[in-house]
Structure 1
């Protein structure tokens, strides 16, 4: 799996695509080997050890995303980013829900709802890479895209937490029971994130300054991992996804001055890189292995096409929410298209959630979501380069070089 992940990631980057796309395609390729008569690797997707390592990988990934999310930047991106993020969550979710209701008429009500939720978030790393390459991070549209992508990732995690709470609460999917469960799950998610941020941001710097006085190798790294896993466990106990707790841990520890506490002015993201470079690709390769290529080719292409159309059209509605003068509305809409790793995380959760004794997402729906993630990840870089390239050629907008600080804010450590 690791060899396939690294070869796939290197090939994808050589072709100008994000490494996560190559890792996912490597997993799909391994999963398709039985179609060619090679069955030696069929056991991998269901192996408990691989599943545990993949779970740790996605927890580390969300921890890194939280560490890369600067709360101060979220507060400074302005009204446009908040409006773009809100529209970018609501419209794709409604369109995805409609597509699920239309193409899966006999499914449980939670199935189209979860399909809509997979369309919510934007992969900030993919868009940030294109903006950085073109020197457009510091432009109005660059700031709006990156700020909105981070905000709608937070909103998407809240949506995921609410749906998990509804499924876990056993609501029937309609009427007052579902509304009560949704309200309860929303309250729990907001209270958990709010409580973790308020208490953690006040307590963490003090505790880590004390921990820095201890002698021993890797004390602060260990303390950071303990914080991540403890909040992931607390989120699970609260009926939320563990990744919500990992993300909250990253937001909490983002306020800790690690450069002052670590020898030589090091940072936590760099210390985490050896772990995430091994565990995170396992998650994406396993997601690819879970894709049933035969089932997708045999009947779920219609659902995949509908979800892809909903994903692209829904994010173009973001352009209507841009209120910043001089910002390129179309560029903002195109920049919000890719789902990348975030959509895969949502899809993976759908395989583990069960309602009525069955997974919320079956193999066919999962394959359709993965196809949507692949399509949106592939089309965004060339479309965004085309649009912003035209703006640069015509002299429109501000084409200042991307500053390293802005790029590092947008890109989780070790991911592109």
Structure 2
């Protein structure tokens, strides 16, 4: 079979990413730290400030000249595999999550989500105002701090074997609601989108794809079981998961929410146990590590060169806002102080939604010039810091008793 150079280059990049991710993950596991930290650091090593400098390097080996491909772990080609990784991770988490367990923590979930939206929004807006930004720019800073990036937290909770505890389920449910509330707040406050339209599409998604979806999916899975072909159930499950991711995105919700809902519904069918191990094998062996490598590779260390007092304040405000806001919400809902702190720490990370909010604001001309550059740089640094510190902080809250 003849492969094009592009495919071979991508294959080499993926192979290198998987090997280094596994080596670094093993190293951090031996240090009794979450393996996800190793995978993120593998991405940093593969970026332009690490092994990425070998991109395009040519060397001779026993008379054979070998040219390494152009390695880019932030390219669209690599991002395709990485994005599938986070979708598959959320699908797997959905498969392993009990709806009855979600109902048990329903009250804390909503309290945590609201606390995690309101306090960071207020604190971020106040910080912006104190540094001389306009009210619109200040609110944008607050909005940037609202949405939690669940990928790092979920993987860390899984590494610590606490994902299916009350704390883990609360964080998971709150992060999903958090995303939806963040999108609605973005539409309402800045008037970027028609809030009525977003409300309708979100309602349609949850009514049709959540409540009616279970009956339809159950019938589809029963039908798939009757198809006498190898792994037909797995194929159908993956198709459902991809459809849900697509329609969730089109309804104004993130694709990872759709992936989680698909996993949640398929997990309630009698066939779920037959496909669970296969899905985990596909996800954890290939796609999921690539996502975290991509997270590390996207770390722009030059952003730290322009960091100022404002950026430091926003980072601190962002961390405190989530810990205190979500922690108070959990405590008011009846959780212990220790569990409330664990929930608050688990809600710290920011990533894709924060960058999307700022990027849209820039493209719509809501912020321009030096202000746009400053807020964007601050957003990037915030995502880097919160992503890297969360696994360490989260493990500490589970390790030490107080």
User: Could you state the TM-score of these two structures normalised by the residue count of structure 2?
Assistant: 0.76
Matched, 1:118 2:147: yes
Matched, 1:22 2:38: yes
What is aligned with 2:5? none
What is aligned with 2:262? 249
Tell which deviates more after alignment, 89-98 or 3-12: 89-98
Matched, 1:291 2:307: no
1:40-79 equivalent positions in 2, closer than 5 A? 40=56, 43-77=71-105, 79=107
Give 1:25 shift. Answer: 1.8
How many residue pairs get aligned? The number is: 363
| Cα distance in 2, alignment partners of residues 333 and 217 from structure 1 | 46
SS of equivalent residue, structure 2 residue 118:
helix
Give 1:299 shift. Answer: 1.7
Give 1:86 shift. Answer: 3.0
Matched, 1:156 2:178: yes
| Cα distance in 2, alignment partners of residues 380 and 374 from structure 1 | 11
- Kept in 2: contact 1:33–1:39 (CA 8 A): no
Alpha-carbon distance change, 186 to 131 in structure 1, aligned in 2, over 3 angstroms:
same
Give 1:384 shift. Answer: 3.4
Per-residue Cα deviation, 1:230-269 (whole angstroms, up to 9, x for no partner): 122223333443323222212221221125xxxxxx4433
| Cα distance in 1, alignment partners of residues 287 and 131 from structure 2 | 36
Give 1:271 shift. Answer: 0.9
| Cα distance in 1, alignment partners of residues 42 and 32 from structure 2 | 16
Per-residue Cα deviation, 1:285-329 (whole angstroms, up to 9, x for no partner): 11221111022244267525532443235323444442577x532
What is aligned with 1:280? 288
SS of equivalent residue, structure 2 residue 345:
coil
Q: 1:336 aligns with which of 338, 344, 348?
A: 344
What is aligned with 1:372? 386
What is aligned with 2:245? 232
| Cα distance in 1, alignment partners of residues 121 and 322 from structure 2 | 8
Give 1:214 shift. Answer: 0.7
- Structure 1 unaligned runs (5+)? 260-265, 391-416
| Cα distance in 1, alignment partners of residues 328 and 180 from structure 2 | 24
- Structure 2 unaligned runs (5+)? 1-16, 57-68
- Kept in 1: contact 2:171–2:347 (CA 8 A): no
Give 1:10 shift. Answer: 1.7
- Kept in 2: contact 1:197–1:251 (CA 8 A): no
- Kept in 2: contact 1:337–1:376 (CA 8 A): yes
| Cα distance in 2, alignment partners of residues 85 and 160 from structure 1 | 10
- Kept in 2: contact 1:57–1:283 (CA 8 A): yes
| Cα distance in 2, alignment partners of residues 300 and 282 from structure 1 | 32
SS of equivalent residue, structure 1 residue 185:
helix
| Cα distance in 2, alignment partners of residues 223 and 160 from structure 1 | 32
| Cα distance in 2, alignment partners of residues 149 and 9 from structure 1 | 24
Rg larger for: 2
| Cα distance in 2, alignment partners of residues 131 and 363 from structure 1 | 35
What is aligned with 2:225? 212
Matched, 1:269 2:262: no
What is aligned with 1:384? 398
SS of equivalent residue, structure 1 residue 346:
helix
Alpha-carbon distance change, 301 to 254 in structure 1, aligned in 2, over 3 angstroms:
farther
SS of equivalent residue, structure 2 residue 133:
coil
SS of equivalent residue, structure 1 residue 8:
helix
How much is the aligned-residue C-alpha RMSD, in angstroms?
Answer: 3.6
SS of equivalent residue, structure 2 residue 299:
coil
Give 1:13 shift. Answer: 2.0
Per-residue Cα deviation, 1:117-173 (whole angstroms, up to 9, x for no partner): 23486924534655759xxx8xxxx63x23421221221231354368x4xxxx9x6
Give 1:59 shift. Answer: 1.7
Alpha-carbon distance change, 36 to 294 in structure 1, aligned in 2, over 3 angstroms:
farther
| Cα distance in 2, alignment partners of residues 93 and 231 from structure 1 | 30
| Cα distance in 1, alignment partners of residues 305 and 359 from structure 2 | 23
| Cα distance in 1, alignment partners of residues 319 and 75 from structure 2 | 32
Give 1:346 shift. Answer: 3.3
Tell which deviates more after alignment, 30-39 or 284-293: 30-39
